[in-house]
Each structure stands twice: as C-alpha cells, then as structure tokens.
C-alpha cells in the first residue's frame, strides 16, 4: 500500500529539489561496480565446470542444433521420458521422422524455449567454430552488466536525494551469487532478468512523487516502452508473463490511464505472437507447458514423496526452504533430500539468507510506522509476492525447488533489501550491507566450483 510522506518527500517543492539533485552518485560508483561484476561473472565463466550451471549442456545443444539445422528446432524427448499427447507425437513423426531421440543425439530439452537468446548464442557458436565454451558462456555477460545498469538507473531516478541507493542497488545485482554465476553461463536466464528489470524499473517510476503524473502523452510512451520490454522478454523466456499481474495491480493501485495496461499487453503479445502461434501449431499449446514434463526426469510431488518418504507438509516445507535459500546462492543438486540440513546444505546458509531477507522487512515496517517510507519500497514488496502463485502451481505439478525462478523480481528484491537495511539502521552506508554479504557468498560459491554447498 502507499505510505504517507512528508511534504518534501511528496515532491511539493519540485523545482528546488530538481535543481539540487546530487551529482556525485554517477559515474565513479557505477564504473567500479561494473568492473567488479565483470570480473566476478567472468571468473564464474572460466572456473565453473561444464554443466555445473542449470541445464547447461541442453542449452548448448539447442544452440548447436540451430546452427546445424539452419533454423528453429522442434522438441523431441529422449528415451524413457513421460508420454506426450498423441497429436504432438504424430507431429514429431511427420516433421522430424522420430518420436524419441536416438542414443547420443544432441538434447532437445530446451528447444521449447523462445529463440532470442539462442539466436544470439548461435552467432557466437558459428563464429567460434562451436568449440569455445567460454565464448558461449560470455554471451550472457552483457545482459548481466546491463541489468546492473538498470538497477543503478532505477536508484538514481527513484531516489534522487539518496545518492547511496543507486550504487547499492547495482552492487546487489552484481554480487547476488545466482545472478553473478548465470551472467557467465550458457543460459537464457540473464537476458530474461534484464528485460524483467526494465519492466520493474518502469513500473516503479509510477511510485516516485517527483516524476510527473501519467498524462496522456506520458501514458502512451510508457505503455509502448513496457510493451516493447514485455515482448522482447517473452521472446527470451515465457516466464516474463508472470509480470503481467504486477502491471495490472500497479494500474489499479495508482489509477493509471487504461493505455498503460492495454499497450503492454497488446504490443507484448504481438511481438511474441509468432512464437506462440508456432507452439500452438507444433504442440497444441501456446505456452508449450505440455512439453516441460518430458524435458527431463522431472518427478511429480507424489513420486518424490515416495522416494523420500515425505508427507505433503514435508514436501511444502522442504521445497519452500530449498527454493528460498537457492534464490540467494546455488546449491548442489546432488545434495540428498533427507535430512533437510543436507537438502539445503549448511545451516549457516539458511541463517545468512534469512538475515538478508527478513532484516530489511523489519526496516521497511519501521519506516512505514514512522511515515518516512517511499512508496517505491511498498511496490517492491509486491513483485515477488505476485510470483508466488505461479511457483506454487509449478511445485504442485513438478518437483523443482529452484529459487532462481524468482529472479524476474530481482530488482524489486534489491530495492527491498537495500532500502530496508538503510531504514533499519538509519545510516546511508547500511544500504551496502546486503551487497557485502552477497559478495562473500559469491566468493564461497565460486571457490566451491559453482555451488555454495557441496557434498
């Protein structure tokens, strides 16, 4: 909800505020964080063993197939996977001449993913003769650095009188271990998070009292920009759809012109339409969700419960805790499911990540009680909550306790953590506490070969 502000914070003296904007929050801090982020993600790209990134071999095979077949590739399951609907199997037989991949064939487990990132990676694959793992991993790096810039830009625009927040937000994005490692991985996650950060940034601007209200021309411009970001995001990964409910709630909350809602939906879906239509033609499913369960040995909740002996309550608790911890740092997927301490690694990880997540919430609550909180922080708490229903539905169908699925809310989480620590301690330097802790976790994860917890 919107938090009352003092007259100065409401931007009533806009002229003097704009004329006295701090200028020292710019170049130097941003450059330093960009360099640190570059070094960290390149270090992950160089040192992490192949396939110690999520589904990395399948992502590389998708890129390879695009080059070898000189075009888009239809999904075909490996042997022994879950059965697909008859019409999908028939389409595979007609188009590909097979309904299962032969032994040793390149994996097609990621070929249901939208093509934007993979087409960029295919250019690098072709230019390097397909043999450079490092070159393919570094395709994600510009998107990681660009996401960092979006965080810095958001901080500078949303909080012009608090120059410490821009570099603190950028450092959060740079040092979050999962994001830093994905910035040096063969994966479509880093570009997805870039487009999601753009969307969250533009939506957060509606909560800044010093930014002009959304008159008609402004609404058309913002709606068009949001539509472009949604569309390109959907061509990268369809999980970007999860931010449409955030858009709807923002429009209702701030009573924005209908244009701000309509244009992002129409433009975004129009840009993504060719891929959605292709999914419908090949799989009878616009979002290709029927394909996912056959993309790997994906256990259902009942199957994993039989293996581990979990009750339904155990399943919810354990997947919830593992998902929470693995948002902040990667965990080795080989960790046994029982006991729980092994399932999430060292208890230190749980305590540290709880400190990162819960402490700033106390700070924002305290600031709201004192009526000194900015509305943008209230908006930021909304974004990850909007992803919870999607993730809960996902967990009810497939056992996938991976916190990285909440990274579309990366910028919002950064806003909460950075703002919450600064509010709790009432010290501008406290805004850098989260990024300092995350940097330590990143180094630990890097030394561990890509995981912060190993057997």
User: Which whole number is the average pLDDT over 264-278?
Assistant: 97
Least confident of 22-26, 282-286, 389-393: 22-26
pLDDT at 400: 85
Least confident of 50-64, 168-182, 301-315, 354-368: 301-315
Place of tokens 């990681």: 144
Judge whether 174 and 435 are in contact, CB under 8 Å. Answer: yes
The Cα 333–Cα 346 span in angstroms is 14
pLDDT at 454: 62
80: left (phi over 0), alpha (psi -120 to 50) or beta: left
pLDDT at 7: 39
- Residue 27 pLDDT > 70: no
The Cα 174–Cα 438 span in angstroms is 9
Place of tokens 């301490």: 341
- Residue 24 pLDDT > 50: no
The answer to whether the Cα torsion of 171, 172, 175, 178 is positive or negative is negative
User: Which whole number is the average pLDDT over 141-154?
Assistant: 98
Nearest to 441 by CA among 336, 325, 360, 342: 325
Q: What percent of the chain has pLDDT over 90?
A: 70
Nearest to 110 by CA among 81, 76, 85: 76
pLDDT at 218: 76
pLDDT at 303: 87
The Cα 381–Cα 358 span in angstroms is 12
Q: Which residue has the higher pLDDT, 65 or 24?
A: 65
Q: Grade residue 213 by pLDDT with cuts at 50, 70 and 90.
A: low
- The model's pLDDT over 97-133, given as tens digits with 9 standing for 90+, comes to 999 999 989 999 999 999 999 999 999 999 998 889 9
Tokens of 357: 């997540």
- The model's pLDDT over 81-98, given as tens digits with 9 standing for 90+, comes to 888 999 999 999 999 999
- What is the DSSP code (8-state) at residue 185? S
The Cα 241–Cα 245 span in angstroms is 8
- The model's pLDDT over 32-79, given as tens digits with 9 standing for 90+, comes to 999 999 999 999 999 999 999 999 999 999 999 999 999 999 999 998
- Residue 370 pLDDT > 90: no
Q: What percent of the chain has pLDDT over 70?
A: 93
The Cα 122–Cα 60 span in angstroms is 9
pLDDT at 299: 85
pLDDT at 12: 41
Tokens of 264: 């992002």
Domain boundaries, given as residue ranges, for the chain? 35-208+300-455
| 108: phi then psi, degrees, rounded to nearest 5 | -115, 25
pLDDT at 35: 97
């Amino acid at each position: 909800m919107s938090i009352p502000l003092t007259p100065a914070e409401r931007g009533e003296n806009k002229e003097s505020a704009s004329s006295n904007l701090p200028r020292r929050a710019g170049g130097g801090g941003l450059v330093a964080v960009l360099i640190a982020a570059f070094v960290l993600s390149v270090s992950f790209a160089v040192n992490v063993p192949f396939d110690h990134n999520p589904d990395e071999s399948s992502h590389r095979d998708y890129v390879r197939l695009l080059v070898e077949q000189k075009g888009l590739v239809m999904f075909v399951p490996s042997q022994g996977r879950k059965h697909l609907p008859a019409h999908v199997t028939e389409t595979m037989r007609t188009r590909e001449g097979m309904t299962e991949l032969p032994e040793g064939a390149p994996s097609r487990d990621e070929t249901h993913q939208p093509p934007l990132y993979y087409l960029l990676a295919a250019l690098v694959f072709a230019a390097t003769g397909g043999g450079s793992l490092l070159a393919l991993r570094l395709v994600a790096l510009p998107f990681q650095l660009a996401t960092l810039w979006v965080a810095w830009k958001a901080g500078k625009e949303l909080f012009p009188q608090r120059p410490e927040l821009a570099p603190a937000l950028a450092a959060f994005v740079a040092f979050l271990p999962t994001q830093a490692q994905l910035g040096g991985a063969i994966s479509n996650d880093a570009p997805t998070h870039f487009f999601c950060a753009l969307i969250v940034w533009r939506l957060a601007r509606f909560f800044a009292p010093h930014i002009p209200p959304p008159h008609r021309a402004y609404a058309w411009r913002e709606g068009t920009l949001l539509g472009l970001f949604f569309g390109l995001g959907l061509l990268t990964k369809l999980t970007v759809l999860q931010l449409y409910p955030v858009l709807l709630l923002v429009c209702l909350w701030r009573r924005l012109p209908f244009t701000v809602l309509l244009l992002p939906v129409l433009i975004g879906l129009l840009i993504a339409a060719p891929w959605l239509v292709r999914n419908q033609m090949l799989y009878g499913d616009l979002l290709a969700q029927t394909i996912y369960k056959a993309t790997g040995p994906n256990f259902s909740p009942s199957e994993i419960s039989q293996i581990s002996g979990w009750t339904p309550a155990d399943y919810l608790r354990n997947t919830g805790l593992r998902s929470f911890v693995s948002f902040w740092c990667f965990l080795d997927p080989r960790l046994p499911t029982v006991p729980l301490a092994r399932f999430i690694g060292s208890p230190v990880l749980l305590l540290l990540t709880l400190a990162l997540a819960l402490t700033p919430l106390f700070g924002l609550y305290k600031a709201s009680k004192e009526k000194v909180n900015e509305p943008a922080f209230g908006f930021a708490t909304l974004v990850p909550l909007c992803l919870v229903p999607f993730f809960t539905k996902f967990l009810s169908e497939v056992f996938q306790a991976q916190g990285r699925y909440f990274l579309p809310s990366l910028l919002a989480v950064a806003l909460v953590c950075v703002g919450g620590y600064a509010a709790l301690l009432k010290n501008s330097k406290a805004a850098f506490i989260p990024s300092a802790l995350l940097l330590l976790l990143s180094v630990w994860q890097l030394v561990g070969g890509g995981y912060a917890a190993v057997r």
